[in-house]
């Protein structure tokens, strides 16, 4: 099943790449900018977590040691609601090719599945994505980019990207959803203790 999931990720990445390119005048993402990995819950399914574990097991020992130290610190800390992702090493994702769905979509303007409202990436408040067309006071999008590009929202909510339709089309099963820290606790707590 993991190969079918990888096929899905490949197709999804191609679509996301087009979305990011279409929104280029509003996007400030670049290597080393890792705000989206510094404070979050990182909800993910069992299938997403298994793919990350495959990548983790292939890491160079030096990187793996750093990830292990991050995981140990996270599991020993009492503040676990919002936390830095332990796979972040020197501001770079150590499991980039295997990262979860939520990591792949972060940074784009999206629609909230439940409310249908537009959802800004939080980094707009840091002066990053979409900040050139966003009024912080009214919390609304203001205008197009100078080249006329409109800020567009996309249907990339996690529930859409891991829907039963996707499972049927790719013959995969995402399984249960948990915060990353809870998956890590299941997998690594015995090692940390």
Residues lying near ligand SF4 in the complex (CB under 6 A) are found at 37, 42, 85, 87-88, 93, 95, 99-100, 103
Q: Which is nearer to ligand SF4, 101 or 124 (CB)?
A: 101
To 10 degrees, what angle do helices 46-57 and 2-22 make? 100
- The distance of closest approach from Cβ of residue 49 to ligand SF4 in the complex, given in angstroms and rounded to an integer, is 10
- CB of 25 or CB of 122, closer to ligand SF4: 122
Whichever of 101 and 109 has its CB closer to ligand SF4, that residue is 101
* CB closer to ligand SF4 out of 24 and 96: 96
Q: What is the dihedral of CA 24, 25, 31, 35, to 10 degrees?
A: -110
177: Cβ–Cβ under 8 A, 6 or more apart, which residues?
A: 43, 44, 45
| Rounded least distance, CB 3 to ligand SF4, Å | 20
List all residues 6 or more positions away from 125 whose beta carbon is below 8 Å from its beta carbon: 131, 136
CB of 82 to ligand SF4, least distance (A): 12
Closer to ligand SF4 by CB, 44 or 141: give it: 44
Longest alpha-carbon distance in the chain: 56
Structure tokens at 114: 């439940």
Minimal distance in Å, beta carbon 87 to ligand SF4?
Answer: 4
For the record, the structure tokens of 145 come out as 């980019």
How near is the Cβ of 85 to ligand SF4 at its closest, in Å?
A: 3
Question: Residue 16's closest CA among 100, 112, 141?
Answer: 100
What is the residue whose two structure tokens read 């990353």? 180
């Amino acid at each position: 099943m993991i190969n079918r999931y990888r096929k899905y990720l490949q197709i999804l990445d191609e679509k996301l790449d087009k979305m990011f390119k279409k929104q280029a005048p509003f996007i400030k993402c670049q290597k080393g900018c890792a705000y989206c990995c510094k404070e979050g819950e990182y909800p993910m399914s069992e299938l997403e977590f298994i793919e990350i574990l495959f990548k983790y097991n292939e890491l160079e020992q030096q990187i793996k040691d750093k990830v292990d130290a991050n995981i140990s610190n996270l599991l020993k800390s009492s503040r676990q609601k919002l936390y830095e992702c332990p796979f972040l090493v020197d501001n770079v994702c150590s499991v980039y090719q295997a990262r979860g769905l939520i990591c792949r979509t972060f940074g784009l303007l999206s629609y909230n599945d439940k409310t249908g409202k537009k959802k800004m990436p939080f980094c707009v408040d840091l002066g990053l994505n979409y900040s050139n067309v966003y009024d912080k006071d009214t919390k609304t999008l203001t205008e197009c980019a100078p080249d006329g590009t409109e800020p567009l929202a996309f249907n990339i909510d996690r529930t859409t990207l891991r829907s039963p339709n996707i499972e049927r089309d790719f013959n995969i099963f995402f399984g249960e959803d948990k915060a990353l820290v809870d998956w890590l606790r299941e997998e690594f707590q015995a090692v940390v203790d």
